Amino acid sequence: MHPFRQAVEARDAAAIEALLADDVVFTSPVAFKPYPGKPITAAILRAVMRVFVDFRYIREIGDATSSDHALLFEATVDGRKITGCDFIHVDENGLIDDLMVMVRPLSGATALAEAMGAQFDRIQREAAEAHSDPAIHAD
């Protein structure tokens, strides 16, 4: 089982964030432009955990030696059932440097867009706070 899947299923935001590379790029199923960087990606993923109900992974594609993985999931957003996939690429350090999410059907994607839109002020605030926290940048 992929460590990202384990962290998500445990709803462990700190473990999820620890798996992200500093230069991770998150591609949303409902936004035109990708979101670069660990602070914004971690904040988005925390918001997703607040928005998704009955989230569960149903299939994992990729082996332990691969840099690319696909994690298929089901969830409910505002009463709409969605099916989606997390496409993950890990760098040479085993950290996620690319995360793209796709969802279907359109009614579910629309519900997700609306729910995440309602979270966006909080997402931006959390990302800004994490970005300005010197402890985040200690290596």
Q: What is the pLDDT of residues 29-87, one digit of tens each?
A: 988 899 999 999 999 999 999 999 999 999 999 988 899 999 999 999 999 999 999 99
Structural domain total, the chain: 1
Both tokens of 31, joined, read 């936004």
Tell me whether residue 97 is in a domain. yes
Which CATH number fits the domain that encloses residue 42?
3.10.450.50
- Residue that the structure tokens 């839109």 belong to: 117
Tell me whether residue 138 is in a domain. no
CB atoms within 10 A of CB 42: 24
Tell me whether residue 137 is in a domain. no
Residues 80, 111 contacting (CB under 8 angstroms): yes
Tell me whether residue 135 is in a domain. no
Tell me whether residue 136 is in a domain. no
pTM of the model: 0.87
**pLDDT value of position 133:** 59
Give strand pairing partners of 14: none
Range of the domain at 118: 3-130
In the predicted model, what is the mean pLDDT of residues 8-18? 95
In the chain, where do the E strands start and end? Answer: 20-27, 35-36, 53-61, 68-77, 80-90, 96-104
Tell me whether residue 139 is in a domain. no
Residues 24, 99 contacting (CB under 8 angstroms): yes
pLDDT at 117 over 90: no
Q: Work out whether the CA dihedral 9, 16, 6, 109 comes out positive or negative.
A: positive
